[in-house]
Amino acid sequence: MSTNQTTEARRGKAPAGERVADWADGRLGIYSLAKANMRKIFPDHWSFMLGEVCLYSFIIIILTGVYLTLFFHPSMNEVEYHGSYVPLQGQLMSEAFNSTMHISFDVRGGLLIRQIHHWAALVFLAGMFVHMMRVFFTGAFRKPREVNWLFGFLLFVLGMFTGFTGYSLPDDLLSGTGVRFMEGAILSVPIVGTYLSFFLFGGEFPGGDFVARFYSVHILLLPGIMLGLVVAHLILVFYHKHTQFAGPGKTNNNVVGMPLLPVYMAKAGGFFFLVFGVIAAISAIAQINPIWAIGPYRPDQVSTGAQPDWYMGFSEGLIRVMPGWEINFWGHTLVLGVFIPLVIFPLVLVAIAVYPFIESWVTGDRREHHILDRPRNAPTRTAFGVAWITLYMVLLIGGGNDLWATHFHLSINSITWFVRIAFFVGPVLAFVITKRICLGLQRRDKEKVLHGRESGIIKRLPHGEFIEVHEPLSQDALHTLTAHEQYEPLAIGPTVDENGVERKVKGSERLRAKLSEAYFGEESQIPKPTVEEYKEITSGHGHH
Amino acid sequence: MSSQDIPEENLPAEQDTHGAVGVADEKNPFADPGLPPHEHRIQDVDERAAKRSERSVALLFTVSMLATVGFIASYVAIPADESVYIWPIGHISAMNFALGMTLGIALFTIGAGAVHWARTLMSDLEIADERHPIEAPPEVKTKVMADFKQGAKESALGRRKLIRNTMFGALALFPLSGVILLRDLGPLPGDKLRHTLWSKGKLLVNMNTNEPLRPSDVAVGSLTFAKPEGLEEHDEDFQTEIAKAALLIVRIQPENIKDKQELEWSHEGIVAYSKICTHVGCPISLYEQQTHHVLCPCHQSTFDLSDGARVIFGPAGHALPQLRIGVNDEGYLEALGDFAEPVGPAFWERG
């Protein structure tokens, strides 16, 4: 480097911080890194903090999780309880349960850390869900961010299983019931199910192995993969730069916002403490997973109102509402009543994961997109997303059908039947309604651009007519409302050329054209106002 | 930082080179007007307001320090088993509440201070940065492709097919060792799922009293849970055995039993069924005496115990297995054999 000499000359004179930085730069090249990133621009929008909530809760989970491993014994050896919680004195339980009791009652602050760990996990999953929806509905998954979308999706799925293996560790009655459910689901897999179950549990359920095995999966395998994915996710966020909403001065070729140092660093860094502080306060006042009230696991005991953590609820719904179909043939049993939900479970998730690739295939658009869509301006996508959420929520209702029944005094049978029907009808209805709402909002935007904002001022004309005064929009608003671009539906073109020779059109092309028509046809978007329309209306006076 | 400190070149007026694409004019009223002018906050123009912000931030950080002191004090001073009444939550652990609240406040005020600092005192000037295409320019791509071709050629991988094929073979085979190593994760199922601890002559032992049951112990309308004689809670394999052997016993007036085999396998209207749900294995524990229905609280499968325990609602696929029972010479209820079919969730080999 050319600065070597200057650095030599200044040695001893530069402030200590700079000397340390020089030392590090000579070995790590931090100045080049900082040049590109220290004043990197981050756009500001409230919805961009959803991803931060996930990142910070993930860090909180790791910090508290490491603390918990210092006290937790992942063993299923039976011991008699002799801790300080009187009602369970003398009760037989596994060492896992016993050590969780120890953490909760005898380690000072242990209960707090346990509750922070569990609450942060719920917030992590909820944050990822909402963050994913934000990315989905604004079209932030489009090129060049498809891979990052998949990383995020994998994090969500792995987060679900890390959560499941985590809450199963204390070996309490509730979580053991969940593990039993999982074992029953594995048994339903044709041909290999019984073997899978025996290999996973080291023999018959529950055996003496699964806590230790879940433990290594929960604290090492899955979080290790997730940590890698989080890092990759963040590197890509940095590399792609943030998306932004359309607005004055914001284009597809720039990114408008505040620099990393100092504003974003202070806000994002501060936000970590806000998230941590709120979760700590929640954990101080809201009890979660009181295993002492639930008791240790016994395969022949159960409590009513058994529920998984919320993110597993939709799989619970699938298993609860599925009719109990079983086919017996040639000495074998096909347990469709359990196996079909087991197959639909990943399919529900995959449906949302592959969507970006389907959309980019339909549009055929290969450009980079950095300006976010307003959901209304992509009605078909928005409708699909709402349909998916509807399906998810219907299944969540199914997963808690007993609680709905007891809390709202409904018949469990009618709830189950409602879910069975709504599973098919709900998403379709949601799709149609959402699309119509989006189109309505597009019409309103158009109206606003062409005729201005309703001012609320009523004017009486000399001949007695009342009119409402519309105020023209500012140019900022005009630009923002018309900045989105609208695709033309894909046309296959004539299949017979002028010489009468027939052109072969592939089936996939036909499907693509059909989908494109469904996406961008007349029924699916309101043409945005043109400059000509605007001028025609604004040049004449008296039109409102 | 006040507005006077903002370098001129950062002001929006100086940034038209990037940012705006078009200039608003008569021709295109929808054109991008460019970044809006920066609006000063009160802290930018009034040093007293800035001072107030500074004091607020410092106050928040100070509160954080105090809360941390409070955390340490709570840890040391509060007995671990003390409970405290907090309105409107009720009685909760004093230690957990104090530690959580002090920690929460200590963290939250750091965050609130930093955010307030950033919002009121750091520059709020929006800056535009240019994006660069993610795709490499064509000449870079050409260079990379050429380099790759050169590397591939030098490796001779394409030319020396024998090396290539054997290498792929070796790489494809070696993970098999890892798969083989998983074999000892568990024993093979064999017919383990077909058998339980029940066998001819085993007494039905009341789960709660640990005493063998007599027919007179089982009243009409009651629900009794039983285990096989000889299985004790302290046994090493208790959990695994009870997971299959758990029994539920009810008494129904014999004339109300609709299923012929059920009546044959019962004793004076006392019927014994597997407690393990045939859906995914939850223990069934809710009994409706009037209808003789039992309900699994996990997934609401409902079985009619007066009709061979067939499924009348819910996701279970087949009836609960019945245990054939009788009475021995001493008048105790006993099993007349093992379950005739596997208990619990269905599986591929069940048939």
For residue B46, what are the domain limits?
3-120
Residues of chain A with Cβ-Cβ distance to B80 below 8 Å are: 84, 105-106, 108
Q: How close A251 gets to chain B, by Cα (Å)?
A: 7
Residues of chain B with Cβ-Cβ distance to A190 below 8 Å are: 348
Distance CA A314, CA A243 (A): 31
Which residues of chain A from 47 to 76 reach within 8 Å of chain B, CB to CB? none
10 Å Cβ neighbour count for A479?
A: 26
Of the residues B93, B120, B147, which one is the last residue of a structural domain?
B120
Nearest Cα residue in chain B from A531: B28
Residue B260 lies in a domain: yes
The pLDDT value recorded for residue B333 is: 95
For A143-171, what is each residue's pLDDT tens digit?
999 999 999 999 999 999 999 999 999 99
Helix axes A146-168, A110-137, angle to 10 degrees: 150
CB-based contact A520:A513 (threshold 8 Å): no
Cβ of B104 within 8 Å of Cβ of A278? The answer is yes
Task: Give the DSSP letter of residue A261.
Answer: I
Residue B134 lies in a domain: no
For B281-336, what is each residue's pLDDT tens digit?
999 989 998 899 999 999 999 999 999 999 999 999 999 999 999 999 999 999 99
> Of A112, A274, A334, which has the smallest distance from its Cβ to B100's Cβ?
A112
Q: Count of residues for chain B?
A: 351
Burial of B26 (0-12, 13-18, 19+ CB in 10 A): exposed
Q: Give which of B1, B91, B182, B185 to mutate to test A binding, by max A Cβ within 10 Å.
A: B185
Map A403-463 to HEC letters: HHHHHHCCCHHHHHHHHHHHHHHHHHHHHHHHHHHHHHHHHHHHHHHHHCEEEEEEEECCC
Q: Give which of B17, B74, B107 to mutate to test A binding, by max A Cβ within 10 Å.
A: B107
Q: How close B154 gets to chain A, by Cα (Å)?
A: 32
Which two three-digit tokens encode residue A118? 């569990």
* Lateral strand order in the sheet of B247-251: B204-206, B223-228, B247-251, B270-274, B322-323
Cβ of A479 within 8 Å of Cβ of B112? The answer is no
Q: Is the peptide bond before B283 cis (omega within 30 degrees of 0)?
A: no
Question: Roughly how many angstroms between the first and final C-alpha of chain A, as a whole number?
Answer: 68
Residues of chain A with Cβ-Cβ distance to B299 below 8 Å are: 319-320
Residues of chain A with Cβ-Cβ distance to B31 below 8 Å are: 475, 479
Cβ of B127 within 8 Å of Cβ of A248? The answer is no
The pLDDT value recorded for residue A226 is: 98
Which residues of chain A from 170 to 189 reach within 8 Å of chain B, CB to CB? 177, 180-181, 183-185, 187-189
Residues of chain B with Cβ-Cβ distance to A280 below 8 Å are: 100-101, 103-104, 107
Residue type, A40: K
- Out of A186-195, B2-11, B28-37, the most confident range is A186-195
Residue B159 lies in a domain: no
Map chain B to HEC letters: CCHHHCCHHHCHHHHCCCCCCCCCCCCCCCCCCCCCCCCCCHHHHCHHHHHHHHHHHHHHHHHHHHHHHHHHHHHHHCCCCCEEEECCCEEEEHHHHHHHHHHHHHHHHHHHHHHHHHHHCCCCCCEEEECCCCCCCHHHHHHHHHHHHHHHHHHCCCCCHHHHHHHHHHHHHCHHHHHHHHHHHCCCCCCHHHCCCCCCCCEEEECCCCCECCHHHCCCCCEEEEEECCCCCCCCCHHHHHHHHCEEEEECCHHHCCCHHHHHCCECCEEEEECECCCCCCECCEEECCCCEEECCCCCCEEECCCCCEEEECCCCCCCCEECEEECCCCCEEECCCCCCCCCCCCCCCC
- Same domain for B329 and B207: yes
Q: Check whether B70 has a pLDDT greater than 70.
A: yes
CB-based contact B273:B293 (threshold 8 Å): no
Residues of chain A with Cβ-Cβ distance to B35 below 8 Å are: 248-249, 256
- Name A491's Cβ contacts closer than 8 Å, sequence gap at least 6: A513
Nearest Cα residue in chain B from A304: B297
Residue B83 lies in a domain: yes
What DSSP string describes A264-294?
A: IHHHHHHHHHHHHHHHHHHHHHS----HHHH
Residue B349 lies in a domain: no
10 Å Cβ neighbour count for A230?
A: 18
CA A421, chain centre distance (Å): 26
Q: Which CATH number fits the domain that encloses residue B307?
A: 2.102.10.10
Residue B158 lies in a domain: no
**What is each CA distance from B89 to A258, A285, B85, B102, B213, in whole angstroms?**
42, 7, 8, 18, 46
For B240-279, what is each residue's pLDDT tens digit?
999 999 999 999 999 999 999 999 999 999 999 999 999 9
The pLDDT value recorded for residue A8 is: 53
- Same domain for B207 and B327: yes
pLDDT tens string, chain A, 544 residues long: the values are 444 555 555 555 789 999 999 999 999 999 999 998 999 999 999 999 999 999 999 999 999 999 999 999 999 999 999 999 999 999 999 999 999 999 999 999 999 999 999 999 999 999 999 999 999 999 999 999 999 999 999 999 999 999 999 999 999 999 999 999 999 999 999 999 999 999 999 999 999 999 999 999 999 999 999 999 999 999 999 999 999 999 999 999 999 999 999 999 999 999 999 999 999 999 999 999 999 999 999 999 998 888 999 999 999 999 999 999 999 999 999 999 999 999 999 999 999 999 999 999 999 999 999 999 999 999 999 999 999 999 999 999 999 999 999 999 999 999 999 999 999 999 999 999 999 999 999 999 999 999 999 889 999 999 999 988 999 999 999 999 999 999 999 887 777 777 878 878 888 888 999 999 999 998 899 999 998 888 888 876 544 4
Q: Provide mean pLDDT across the span B188-207.
A: 94
Residue B244 lies in a domain: yes
Nearest Cα residue in chain B from A412: B300
Of the residues B120, B152, B177, which one is the last residue of a structural domain?
B120
Which residues of chain B from 108 to 127 reach within 8 Å of chain A, CB to CB? 108-115, 117-119, 122-124, 126-127
Which two three-digit tokens encode residue A54? 């996930």
Q: Nearest Cα to A458, choosing from A448, A450, A468?
A: A468
- Lowest model confidence (mean pLDDT) among B19-33, B192-206, B246-260: B19-33
Distance CA A256, CA A371 (A): 11
* Band of residue B27 on the pLDDT scale cut at 50, 70, 90: confident
Q: Which ipTM value was assigned to this complex?
A: 0.91
For chain A, list the domains and their CATH numbers.
4-34 (no CATH), 38-45+53-373 (1.20.810.10), 374-484+528-544 (no CATH)
Cβ of B127 within 8 Å of Cβ of A298? The answer is no
Residues of chain A with Cβ-Cβ distance to B115 below 8 Å are: 266-267, 270-271, 274
Distance CA B267, CA A92 (A): 34
CB-based contact A406:A305 (threshold 8 Å): yes
Distance CA B347, CA A328 (A): 10
Residue type, B84: V
Distance CA A383, CA A432 (A): 7
- Lowest model confidence (mean pLDDT) among B25-34, B131-140, B292-301, B313-322: B25-34
Cβ of A109 within 8 Å of Cβ of B36? The answer is no
Cβ of B279 within 8 Å of Cβ of A257? The answer is no
CB-based contact B272:B325 (threshold 8 Å): yes
Residues of chain A with Cβ-Cβ distance to B57 below 8 Å are: none
* Band of residue B28 on the pLDDT scale cut at 50, 70, 90: confident
Cβ of A270 within 8 Å of Cβ of B113? The answer is yes
Residues of chain A with Cβ-Cβ distance to B235 below 8 Å are: none
The answer to whether B287 faces chain A, any CB pair under 8 Å, is no
Q: Nearest Cα to A118, choosing from A167, A182, A187?
A: A167
The answer to whether A193 faces chain B, any CB pair under 8 Å, is yes
CB-based contact B96:A115 (threshold 8 Å): yes
> Of A321, A328, A482, which has the smallest distance from its Cβ to B30's Cβ?
A482
Cα-only R_g, chain A: 29
CB-based contact A163:A125 (threshold 8 Å): yes
The pLDDT value recorded for residue B23 is: 46
Nearest Cα residue in chain A from B31: A479
The answer to whether B320 faces chain A, any CB pair under 8 Å, is no
Each residue of A307-319: b (16+ CB within 10 Å) or e?
bbbbbbbbbbbbb
Task: Give the DSSP letter of residue A200.
Answer: H
Residue B253 lies in a domain: yes
Domain tally, chain B: 2
Q: How close B343 gets to chain A, by Cα (Å)?
A: 12
> Of B186, B275, B298, which has the smallest distance from its Cβ to A181's Cβ?
B298
Of the residues B120, B135, B150, which one is the last residue of a structural domain?
B120
Q: Nearest Cα to B13, choosing from B33, B40, B41?
A: B33
Q: Nearest Cα to B297, choosing from B321, B281, B309?
A: B281
Distance CA B236, CA B195 (A): 18
Which residues of chain B from 140 to 179 reach within 8 Å of chain A, CB to CB? none
Cβ of B189 within 8 Å of Cβ of A476? The answer is no
> Of A262, A272, A531, which has the smallest distance from its Cβ to B122's Cβ?
A262
- Same domain for B200 and B329: yes
